Structure 1
Amino acid sequence: MKVEIKEDICMKLFLCSHFSSVGNLIKEEIEMKKVVFVPTASLNEGYTGYVGSAKKLFNKMGAVVTEIDISKEYFSTIKSAFEDANIIYFTGGNSFFLIDQLRQTGVDKLLKEELGKGKLMIGESAGAIICAPNISYIERMDKKPEGYSQSDDGGLNLIDFYVLPHYLTAPFKKITATILREFPDLKICPINNHQAITVDGRSSNIIGEQ
């Protein structure tokens, strides 16, 4: 798959459905590194087991993890943590809540600045979805939360395709098939829970088990 980088920066992205299932694929890039762990997308979700499993894997790899909720922390604290980190990780959860908080706080711009320095961004599920130009396509899977403040559904616009996580994977088997069918004009990239998309500079690959 060829990818166009939408922003004028060469970045490194690791986009996945379920980080604890695929994180070992980039073990060498994570071991002993400083990781900012952003759980914001998961805050209002019922099931959050993926948050704990991701933390467990980072710890197993010897990463130094700093957890930052961008919806509650002062911007200065977030900025300091992002600048100090080697890796910026976003959990799964609600994509609309996450992009709303990123745009409200200005952390979207801060993130792009740090990616421009060559830092690795890991996006799991919602954290991968938000990289697209627009996230309206995912509304069948993620409902907009009360208080959503954006007048549009613009994403981070880092890539020119649209990640569809958990493709044909329970409990999202039917809804992911529906989304793929209903948006034939979008460059949707479906991945299951054992696959990931790596972006390095201006090239990308799908890795993992089909």
Structure 2
Amino acid sequence: MNLVLLSNTASLEAMNALTFFIGNLSKDLLSLPVIYIASQPDSKRVYFTPIKTMYQQLGFKQVDYIELEDGFQANASTLLEKAGLIHLSGGDTYRFLNGLKQRGIDKQLRCLAEEGTVIVGVSAGAMIMTPSIDSAILCGDQNTVGLTDTRGLHLVSFLMVPHVSDPISNLSEIETFKLQSDNELLLCKDTDAVVINGNKQQTFGTPIWLK
């Protein structure tokens, strides 16, 4: 699989990770569209526009936006099939996963990832790429949408906690959570990133692994 998991995009480490990752992929990738999936409606494109600019700076010519709620595009599935890279945005993790499941896009993303489509997840988007989003509670998310199935895309074997402070402010809470989980737990500061290219995994910054 071709995956990037980020805590935040506004760091040198994040840009280094993306630049390194994209540089090791086919140059033809840049001619394909990036599809940005919004975690919730962004009518003024406040969150989308900086990400669009970022991908354009990385060499992509086309960056398109889709959302999962009232503004859902009927051709979203087709757009995703044609994507060279799919960006899962940050935001409310429970709301985001709930929207993906209601639209059936979670299953499509899993298939596309297995076929080699590049998927970049940021914060909530990164947690959705893991076996479950249960770790979202550790960064303050609350299940206000009543999501009962918290299973993620399971593109990686570990769970993730983004936006971890340094030093870690809620370490006891994190350790308690880990005792109840069989999965490794990846703790990422906003300057950390993990890149997976096939069977190779590389970290940027200084993420912490709790086994």
- For normalisation by structure 2, the TM-score amounts to 0.78
User: Structure 1 residue 158: deviation in Å?
Assistant: 1.8
Alignment of 1:103-122 (within 5 A): 103-122=101-120
Match of 1:182 among 168, 171, 176: 176
Q: What percent of counterpart residues are identical?
A: 23
For the structure 1 residues 41 and 160, does the alpha-carbon distance in structure 2 shift closer, same or farther, using more than 3 Å as the test? farther
The partner residue of 2:67 within 63, 66, 69 is 69
Gaps of 5+ in 2: none
Number of equivalences? 192
Range 74-83 or range 123-132, more displaced? 74-83
In 1, the alpha carbon distance for the partners of 2:47 and 2:42 equals 12
Contact 1:133 1:157 in 2 (8 A): yes
Is 1:130 aligned to 2:128, yes or no? Answer: yes
How has the CA–CA distance of structure 1 residues 33 and 25 changed in structure 2, closer, same or farther, with 3 Å as cutoff? farther
1:19 aligns with 2:25: no
Distance 2:33 2:16 in 1: 16
SS state at 1:189 partner: strand
SS of 1:54's partner is helix
Structure possessing the higher relative contact order (Cα contacts under 8 Å, 6 or more residues apart): 1
2: CA distance between counterparts of 1:191 and 1:49? Answer: 24
Preserved contact between residue 167 and residue 193 of structure 1 (Cα < 8 Å): yes
Distance 1:20 1:74 in 2: 27
C-alpha spacing 1:162/1:79, structure 2 compared with 1 (3 Å) = same
Deviation at 1:202, TM superposition (A): 3.2
Corresponding position of 1:81: 79
Give me the CA root mean square deviation: 2.7
Contact 1:133 1:156 in 2 (8 A): yes
Say which is worse superposed, 56-65 or 123-132, in terms of deviation. Answer: 56-65
